A = this chain, B = another copy of it.
Amino acid sequence: MAQKPSIPKGTRDFNPEEVAKRNYIFNTIKSKFERFGFMPIETPSFENSDTLMGKYGEEGDRLIFKILNSGDYLSKADQKAYDDKDSNKLTSSISEKALRYDLTVPFARYVVQHQNEIEFPFKRYQMQPVWRADRPQKGRFREFYQCDADVVGSNSLWQEVELVQLYDEVFTALKLEGATIKINNRKILSGIAEVIGASDKLIDFTIALDKLDKIGEEKVKEEMLSKGISPEGIEKLQPLFTLSGDFGTQVESLNSILSTSEEGKKGIEELQFINTAISELGLKSAILQLDVTLARGLNYYTGAIFEVSAPNVAMGSIGGGGRYDDLTGIFGMKNMSGVGISFGLDRIYLVLEELELFPETITKSTEVLFINFGEKEALYSLKAIKTLRENGINAELYPDNAKMKKQMNYANKRNIPFVIIVGEQEIENNLFALKNMITGEQQNVNLEQVVKKFS
């Protein structure tokens, strides 16, 4: 193979620095998840195709990566589809397994399969890669991680309260202070649609409303009209377009719009419960903001809807979630209410990079490199390195007796802040020449002093 090898488009290699930075984000999220009582599970990378197919809509089905059966897979191919050369119809007869498309459906499958071993309410978190055969573009990959925390088996609104706190805790710990946590409620959207006589057009209505920020009031109204929402209905929406101010003020306007809708009033009540609790408990740095246009994932959310955006940088949402009343229904287990949030690792990474919020320490792995001058010196060095490692210090020996300059270069390029030079004289006097790679300073010290220096 003469050509330089490459990787499939939409996938990525991560070098040591990138892995360290990604792990910093993972570990921060993970430790907060556990602080809040969430427990980790892991599911297989591939599932039986019928677990995944039909759960994400037609578009989703197309974007699921299918795994070819092993062996003589054509022997079981659907004959008609084969004769017709119909890719779409042939697939299920030559592929039984497919790569995970998200973490929610495998989680639902897990809950149903293991229902007898699980204590409900079940607070689980999961951080694993998912795969989508999407067209790759900036910030969109074919393999990427999802980080989800969900609770199933409880209707309590305290979960929503805790999830708002959890977002606040994670982003504050990542030094991303001042994130905006937008909140809405599916019941409010349903209530509004009801009030304007467009209950059967809920999806069209919310898709149009969701664009308010981008295309403005007039265009939103045009779109609603074109979808068959009546002018009188749209008239009733007027207060919605000018909704602004704090939580309380917005709730007042909503109360007046939704006075005739039971469902709408229930939605307002839920929002108020969450907002009051959060006001009492306080947030460290995030801001909780009511956003009636927020309609994310409306297909399955039934109560609260969340979305988080980063401060000081245009990046789209870095997290989202909500409540879904029927997570496990697709697998035949009814009445399992769930609520969860997820973190967008790749975007959080880009935000931290742009705002220079990664701590410097995380990319520093080896603290001191011992220069290698030959067998005797190397053995003397390895004895010292052993002691350093026992004291929790990351130390290493340059493996070859190469030119001094090459070894120093290696330390520089790898960002190792100190080297230790050991020659005959040092061995004789039981000393180590410790050199600071930034200042160039060098001093003779004994082993105890080296340990102290790096502890």
Q: How far is the CA of A3 from the CA of B112 in the complex (A)?
A: 10
Q: Name the segment of A151-159, A227-235, A421-429, A440-448 touching the other chain.
A: A151-159
Chain A contacts to B: CB under 8 angstroms:
1-8, 11-16, 19-20, 23, 34-37, 39-48, 50-51, 62-63, 65-68, 70-75, 77, 82, 85-88, 90-91, 94-97, 99, 109-110, 112-114, 117, 119, 121, 123-124, 129, 131, 133, 143, 151, 154-156, 158-159, 161-162, 165, 169, 277, 280-282, 330-332, 365-366, 369, 372, 378-379, 382-383, 386, 389, 392-397, 399-400, 410, 413-414
Total copies of the chain:
2
Q: How far is the CA of A394 from the CA of B13 in the complex (A)?
A: 35
Beyond A5-B109, A71-B87, 6 additional contacts (C-beta under 8 Å) are: A4-B331, A19-B42, A36-B396, A45-B143, A62-B70, A155-B400
Q: How far is the CA of A47 from the CA of B234 in the complex (A)?
A: 52
Q: Please give me the residue from chain B that is nearest to A88 by CB atom.
A: B72
Q: How far is the CA of A42 from the CA of B48 in the complex (A)?
A: 26
In the assembled complex, how far is the CB of residue A108 from the closest CB belonging to chain B, in whole angstroms? 9
**A397 pairs with B158, CB closer than 8 A:** yes
Interface SS of chain A: mixed
In the assembled complex, how far is the CB of residue A141 from the closest CB belonging to chain B, in whole angstroms? 9
Q: How far is the CA of A54 from the CA of B273 in the complex (A)?
A: 62
Contacts of A16 in B (CB 8 A): 39-41, 124
**B67 pairs with A68, CB closer than 8 A:** yes
**A44 pairs with B154, CB closer than 8 A:** no
Contacts of A129 in B (CB 8 A): 45
Q: Which of B42, B46, B99, B382 contacts A161 (CB 8 A)?
A: B382
In the assembled complex, how far is the CB of residue A361 from the closest CB belonging to chain B, in whole angstroms? 13
**B48 pairs with A365, CB closer than 8 A:** no
Q: How far is the CA of A45 from the CA of B131 in the complex (A)?
A: 9
Contacts of A281 in B (CB 8 A): 379, 382-383, 386
**A35 pairs with B87, CB closer than 8 A:** no
In the assembled complex, how far is the CB of residue A70 from the closest CB belonging to chain B, in whole angstroms? 4
**A332 pairs with B13, CB closer than 8 A:** no
Q: Which of B45, B66, B88, B383 contacts A280 (CB 8 A)?
A: B383
Q: How far is the CA of A372 from the CA of B42 in the complex (A)?
A: 29
Q: Which of B14, B378, B410 contacts A119 (CB 8 A)?
A: B410
Contacts of A113 in B (CB 8 A): 4-7, 13
Sample 20 A-B pairs with CB under 8 A, ordered by A number: A4-B113, A4-B331, A5-B48, A5-B109, A8-B44, A12-B44, A36-B396, A39-B365, A44-B143, A45-B45, A45-B99, A63-B70, A65-B68, A65-B70, A68-B91, A77-B85, A121-B400, A156-B399, A158-B399, A280-B383
